[in-house]
Amino acid sequence: MKLESPMESTASSLRQSASSAAAEELMEMETKPLLTKVLSYPPAAAAAASTSQRRRAKSSPRPSRQNSFSRDIGHAAKETYLVTSLSFTLLQYLGVGYRWITRLLALYCYAMLLMPGFLQVAYVYYFSSQVQRSIVYGDQPRNRLDLYLPKNIDGKKPVVVFVTGGAWIIGYKAWGSLLGLQLAERNIIVACIDYRNFPQGTISDMVEDASRGISYICNNIADYGGDPDRIYLMGQSAGAHISSCALLEQAIKESKKEEISWSVSQIKAYFGLSGGYNLFNLVDHFDSRGLYRSIFLSIMEGEESFHRFSPEVRVQDPGNKDVVSILPPITLFHGTADYSIPSDASKIFVDVLQRVGAQADLVLYDGKTHTDLFLQDPLRGGKDDLFDQLVAVIHADDKEALEQDAVAPPRRRLVPEILLKLAGNISPF
């Protein structure tokens, strides 16, 4: 009798969990309103119905919320169960080490200090009619996205497709709620894409999910008041890596004349925030930070896959010259005090992009950490350089929007300064 190794046993349990979760997702999709079924993956079916949907959209109001609060609670309970079971599987990889325990404790304290702001954001996330949660975009577990809609939905609005970070392990669509709500205040629609995390999936699954989510937005955002000609792609931390991989993979398919469900030409610009784009340069750094080499290799499907999932390396391939020419303008943002992913990761990638002929820019923020730009600064309220720069680029061709931005009230503070400083001091990131 053949005995399974621990790795084989773990893989088997993950497949069973994923299959069970997928079945639950499909069962829930059957109970969704007709509009949700029509707009759901696969993209080809959505595209076939898009014409009639847009015709109805002209005479009908914004799509109503798809889930009641009670259904959201039920879905959250199922996801919690799945995440809990996968967490135990994850512990088989992590073990019980000093670095992980201390970082988990630091993460808990960090979250508690910022809780006043998180609670305010969570209240709006769950109770605002401007937030449409858990729209199904694919047939895999966690193939859902959240939409943040402006109050004023007359006229087509620019759209930001956002892929959240989370070290490829704890990413979740709700992590983008603060950014989504604040951009919606400036008449920008934000779509936050959820995706399978490790150990439920590996990097190819994450990139595939992100691409499916982007496809859904490209093909259906007009039904929600979005402008399909003004779609911006953005990722933060691990999400910047995943989204850049999805963008480059799509460009390669397009250059080879392969069948595609969305086009790189539909992306007006790409924004990468605090991301890493070369796995060869990051594996040892992450190991020293507690994301052990063995875990990282499992997430990235082995060192043999590093080339495929390293955009910085891949754009330098001589065979990808045509690919570089169709990439959208790329802007990378990074804090110089980022120790989770050093700012050199963005510096080098921009240098490489410019050298191979792509349009790329780098914006560095002196003294900013990995979480300052994405969490502490937005929670602080008032003026925020990153937010202002994003809005300026998105509204660059809209004179009326720029005039409204100039007189927009300052953003409200959500967390007292003393708590923000304490959180920054103990942040595990």
Question: What is the DSSP secondary-structure string of 79-95?
Answer: HHHHHHHHHHHHHHHH-
* Residues 6 or more apart whose Cβ sits within 8 Å of residue 178: 117, 121, 375, 378, 379
Q: Residue 125 and residue 175: Cα distance in Å, rounded?
A: 11
Give the Cα separation of 24 and 343 in Å (integer).
41
Backbone angles phi, psi at 363, to 5 degrees: -125, 115
Q: pLDDT: is 150 or 77 the higher one?
A: 150
Q: Is 370 noted as a catalytic residue in this protein? A: yes
3-state secondary structure (DSSP) of residue 418: helix
Burial of 119 (0-12, 13-18, 19+ CB in 10 A): exposed
Instruction: Confirm whether 237 is a catalytic residue.
Output: yes
For residue range 292-350, what is the model confidence (pLDDT) as tens digits? 899 999 999 999 999 999 999 999 999 898 899 999 999 999 999 999 999 999 999 99
Q: Are 317 and 355 in contact (CB under 8 A)?
A: no
CB count, 10 Å around CB of 235?
A: 28
Is 285 tagged catalytic? no
Rg from Cα positions in the chain: 21
* Structure token digits, residue 390: 């994003």
Q: CB-based burial of residue 320 (10 Å sphere; 0-12 exposed, 13-18 middle, 19+ buried)?
A: middle
Taking a C-beta distance cutoff of 8 angstroms, is the pair 21, 84 a contact? no
Which of these is catalytic: 334, 370, 377, 395?
Answer: 370
- pLDDT score for 321: 86
- Range name among 100-109, 359-368, 389-398, 411-420 with the lowest pLDDT average: 100-109
Q: Does residue 138 sit in helix, strand or coil?
A: coil
Q: Check 338, 346, 372, 377 and give the catalytic one.
A: 338
β pairing state of 267-273 and 226-236: parallel
Which of the residues 177, 215, 237, 427 is marked catalytic?
A: 237
Per residue, the 3-state secondary structure of 187-254, as one string, reads CCEEEEECCCCCCCCCHHHHHHHHHHHHHHHHHHHHHHCEEEEEEEEEEECHHHHHHHHHHHHHHHHH
pTM of the predicted protein model:
0.81
Tens digit of pLDDT for each residue in 194-247? 999 998 999 999 999 999 999 999 999 999 999 999 999 999 999 999 999 999
| Confidence band of 291 (pLDDT split at 50, 70, 90) | confident
pLDDT-based confidence at residue 104 (cuts at 50, 70, 90): confident
Cβ–Cβ < 8 Å for 93, 150: no
68 pLDDT band, cuts 50/70/90, is low
